[in-house]
């Protein structure tokens, strides 16, 4: 089971997020490509993007009950690996 979880999230200008994970991985992701699409139109109202938080139940990065992003997929983007590449690396170190 995946034990990597987000431990800190900060919003940055231009619809960017800075994330820190339990294994020490940290970095910035550009989410501007989502702005205005479907439920993400919520971000267009001033101040809404800045309400991002870590949902303690699901470990997702959330804004409302309807708007959340899977933190593990964000982790994979930060480390530049697919799930398959990450899993293979975990098996090598096991």
Query: How does pLDDT run across 3-38, given as a tens digit for each residue?
Result: 899 999 999 999 999 999 999 999 999 999 999 999
The total domain count for the chain is: 1
Is there a domain that residue 59 lies in?
Answer: yes
Question: Which pTM does this prediction carry?
Answer: 0.90
CB 18 within 8 A of CB 77: no
Give a three-class secondary structure readout of the chain.
Answer: CCCCCEEEEEEECCCEEEEEECCCCEEEEECHHHCCCHHHHHHHCCCCHHHCEECCCCCCEECCCCCEECHHHHHHHHHCCCHHHHHHHHHHCC
**Domain limits for position 44:** 6-92
Is there a domain that residue 1 lies in?
Answer: no
Is there a domain that residue 35 lies in?
Answer: yes
CATH code for position 46 = 3.30.2020.10
Determine the pLDDT at residue 2: 58
Is there a domain that residue 65 lies in?
Answer: yes
């Amino acid at each position: 089971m995946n034990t990597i979880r987000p431990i800190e999230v900060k919003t940055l200008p231009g619809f960017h997020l800075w994330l820190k994970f339990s294994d020490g991985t940290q970095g910035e992701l550009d989410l501007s490509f989502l702005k205005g699409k479907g439920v993400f139109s919520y971000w267009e109202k001033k101040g809404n993007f800045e309400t991002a938080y870590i949902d303690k139940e699901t470990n997702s990065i959330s804004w409302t009950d309807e708007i959340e992003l899977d933190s593990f997929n964000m982790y994979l983007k930060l480390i530049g690996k697919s799930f398959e590449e990450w899993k293979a690396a975990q098996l090598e170190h096991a």
